[in-house]
Amino acid sequence: MIDAEVKGKLPEIHHLEDVFTSCYFGLIKYCSSDVLNRYFLSALKNLKDQQLEYYPQIVSLNFKIFFWPRLEDNSEPDLIIVLYDNNSKVEYLFFVEVKYYSQQNTYDTDEDFAAHFYENQLSREYTNLFSLDRIENFALKEDTKRFLVYLSADYSKPEGDFNRAINELRKNFDVQQICETMLWVNWYNLYDKLKESENEKGLLDFETNILEDLEKYLHRKNFWSFGGFGNFEEIAEATNFVFLQDENETSFNWQFEKTEELETKLVNFSMIIFDWKLEKVPLFQAVSKLCLIVHLGKKY
């Protein structure tokens, strides 16, 4: 399915968060702990902006990813990642809350998950993280290291989301502990990590292929990082633009449009609005893309 998405063959599912999560981590699960470490865990930072220092030990452990496991309070984290030894004892436990276009969920504490009375989604996940003692055949130890990961599409750390969670959790948890065990990363960071894989050695051939596919996948999702205006044509060729005109959506790709036609569309639009909901990119990145196609149109 990831190949069809990269080629733009499945527009009807392009914006589905669960499909995105499944396609991305569904490939990661076949890789080694070293790959999980290099291209996911090493990108994580806690709320003090510190990277964690446990990574060298991880490569000697096994890992398993659980997708939307149902917990006792009927909640479903997007992912649970366990890193375990040869006796199935869990050394590290990660709850991962994945966001693509959507925002955090909030809950009515009179009806939903009333066991711990949290309205905030991160608060609920964090509480479940520290109450879990087993997942399937994996037993958690007293000293299992536990972390909540918030993977979002925000270009900068969503301070408001974390502050709301801390304000709820501080009644039952030490704030210092929360700041050290609540982690954040965005899709742009993961794309940068995948770009690094192009020059790295020590990977198996199938892992290299998987990482290449994931890099293309994030690029297709517009999670590439802005790297300056060195190669206009390369950026334009890989970008799918979505505009609105008179409430009718018009979508086109630079690869399939002549410069004159593209310039005409821009001139004739009575009102051009970049569809932030469909193309969730930072403001400066979106503006630079719009300026880019105007620049290219004037070159010829």
User: Has residue 224 been placed in a domain?
Assistant: no
pLDDT at residue 32 tops 50: yes
| 205 and 251 both lie in a single domain | no
Statement to judge: residues 173 and 41 lie in one domain: yes
Q: Answer yes or no: do 240 and 206 share one domain.
A: no
Joined tokens for residue 66: 């659980």
Name the percent of the chain lying above pLDDT 90: 55
- Which of 171, 193, 219 finishes a domain? 219
**Residue 253: is its pLDDT beyond 50?**
no
Same domain membership, residue 55 and residue 26:
yes
- Of 219, 241, 270, which closes a domain? 219
Least confident of 4-13, 181-190, 221-230: 221-230
Does 268 lie in the same domain as 200? no
Residue 16 — pLDDT band, cuts 50, 70, 90? very high
Please report where in the chains the tokens 């609540």 appear, as a residue.
182
241 and 153 together in one domain: no
Question: Domain check: are 109 and 183 in the same one?
Answer: yes
Q: Determine, yes or no, domain membership for 93.
A: yes
pLDDT at 58 over 90: no
The residue from 171, 190, 219 where one domain ends is 219
Question: In terms of domains, do 190 and 267 share one?
Answer: no
Same domain, 203 and 273: no
Residue 226 within a domain: no
- Work out the burial of residue 75: count CB atoms within 10 Å of its CB; fewer than 13 is exposed, 13-18 middle, 19 or more buried: buried
**Does pLDDT of 97 surpass 80?**
yes
Domain presence at residue 179: yes
Claim to verify: residue 139 and residue 248 sit in the same structural domain:
no
What is the predicted pLDDT for the residue at 1? 79
Domain that holds residue 56: 2-219
Q: What is the mean pLDDT of residues 105-123?
A: 59
Reading across the β-sheet that carries 248-253, which strands appear in turn?
248-253, 240-245, 273-274
Range among 12-16, 116-120, 247-251, 258-262 rated most confident: 12-16
Over residues 152-164, the pLDDT tens digits come to 999 999 999 999 9
Q: Is 248 inside any structural domain?
A: yes
Residue 233 reports pLDDT greater than 80 = no
More confident residue, 72 or 250: 72
Q: What is the structure's pLDDT at 290?
A: 57
Whether 111 has a pLDDT exceeding 70, the answer reads no
Q: Are 210 and 241 part of one and the same domain? A: no
Number of structural domains the chain divides into: 2
Q: Is residue 225 part of a domain?
A: no
pLDDT for 277: 39
Angstrom distance (rounded) from CA 35 to CA 133: 27
Q: State residue 200's pLDDT score.
A: 83
pLDDT 10s digits, 266-293: 433 333 334 443 444 455 555 555 555 5
Helix ranges, the chain (H): 2-6, 17-28, 33-39, 55-58, 121-131, 159-169, 175-181, 187-196, 205-220, 232-237, 259-268, 283-299
* pLDDT confidence band for 202 (50 / 70 / 90): confident
Residues 239 and 190 placed together within one structural domain of the fold: no
Residue type, 219: H
- 210-225 average pLDDT score: 93
Q: Is residue 150 part of a domain?
A: yes
Residue 17 located in a structural domain: yes
Q: What is the mean pLDDT of the chain?
A: 78
